[in-house]
Amino acid sequence: MEMKRYYLAIDIGASSGRHIVGWREDGEIKAKEVYRFPNGVQEQNGHLVWDVDALLSHVKAGIAAAKTEFPEIVSLSVDTWAVDYVLLRGEEEVRPVYAYRDSRTEAAIPKVHEILPFAELYAKTGCQFQPFNSIYQLYADQLAGRLEGVTDFLMIPEYLLWKLCGVKSREYTNATTTGMVNAETGKFDPEIISALGLPPIFPKLQKPGTVLGEYEGIKCVLCATHDTASAVEGIPMEENAPYISSGTWSLLGVKTPKPITNTASRAANYSNEGGVGYNRYQKNIMGMWLVNELQKELCSGLGFAEIVNAAKESRCDALIDANAPEFLAPKSMKAAFDVATGGKLISIGDYFRCAYRSLAESYAKALAELEANTGKQYDRLYIVGGGAKNEFLNHLTAKATGKQVIALPIEATALGNLKIQMEADL
């Protein structure tokens, strides 16, 4: 009888992380969660930052927990959210490690666009405009003098893998979220780096499946380290159809053979990001962040099912623009909803009904843009991630988009992470 081979996916989102052990059985990937931990931005001196020491501590604790239950783990890999990074001077971190929701890029964005107008940037990279793109964060670092003497730029998963195995890597799928990778060459664009006067800390990119080194006898492998890239690998689609990876953010997109960087795509703020052998033509849309922040403020004692029931019972027809900047990091999400709806929301159910309906409408708008820009019509929409468990939102999405919604409440990101490790092990 063939021995099972076990692999460990470390999947870290903006609000929590999890360690999931996977193996092949009866032609399928089976998976078991062995460790879970909280994550979140912290406020420090008026800025939003990540505690990377706590992250690393949890990563190591989770590996220990996995080894206790599955002593023969072949390999591990780490995926996280995109755009954020750690700068190094030699072996020393430049602190703090800023979080993407921090407002420090506000002054940097217009200065970047003076040097490289966004139309020019988009034509080169196909990367959608977001105020937190790494390019703007790095220029904010430049303006603040934080790039003096910097020797390395490691995105969060690369940093954690370096701390585990001692090897520095730069992985392709995550790099494509920085706004600095050329859509045609798949490499960091030297003209962008030179125009902004950034230091030479952007070496050759490595592809998912690359073996880096070892941690306590376990191989450290690059998966698609951007969690959405791993999630798309983990969706069991019968055909190439649009998907929503639904978490704090909703990432809506479709696989395309190559980037689409035309004016219509730029106007619709669609991004072209690296996949495993394909391009992901997708868009960041606001996600469960709206709901999670409302819950914290309005009814932290209420469970998920009670919130959904309250939303179902409400008859409120108010909508917001879910992607408006005032919902990105408000001091009060309730107040942001109150202003946007002109005070129409009365009950708790009204707030959540408004949030869910507004999300569904934003999905419908983005999907219409996707179909127009790709020149293809689709019948189905796959939804994975935490949001896929919400039947009410799935129903509203089907109604708003006119598509057959296939909701797969699976750990798609961890499955994609595991799949890439398994293929690297063949």
Instruction: Report the catalytic residues.
Output: 227
| CA distances in angstroms from 59 to 68, 86, 158, 215, listed in the order given | 14, 16, 13, 12
Q: CB neighbours of 283 closer than 8 A, spacing ≥ 6? A: 128, 251, 252, 253, 268, 269, 270, 271, 366, 369, 370
Please give the span between the terminal C-alpha atoms of the chain, in angstroms, as a whole number.
18
Residue type, 331: K
Closest by CA to 199, choosing from 126, 139, 120, is 139
Q: CB neighbours of 107 closer than 8 A, spacing ≥ 6? A: 140, 143
SS3 state of residue 20: strand
Q: Which helix (H) or strand (E) holds 210?
A: none
| CA distances in angstroms from 47 to 38, 96, 102, listed in the order given | 20, 9, 6
Closest by CA to 32, choosing from 20, 18, 23, is 20
For β-strands 271-274 and 152-155, DSSP reports them as unpaired
State residue 66 phi and psi, 5-degree precision.
Answer: -65, -40
Residues paired with residue 222 on neighbouring β-strands, in sequence order: none
CA–CA gap between residue 277 and residue 295 (Å, rounded): 39
Q: CB neighbours of 362 closer than 8 A, spacing ≥ 6? A: 250, 285, 286, 321, 322, 323
For β-strands 279-286 and 271-274, DSSP reports them as antiparallel
Q: Long-range contacts: 194-201, Cβ < 8 Å, 24+?
A: 195/115, 195/116, 196/112, 196/115, 196/116, 196/135, 196/138, 196/139, 196/142, 197/142, 198/138, 198/139, 198/142, 198/147, 199/147, 199/150, 201/87, 201/150, 201/151, 201/152, 201/153
Token match 């006119």: residue?
402
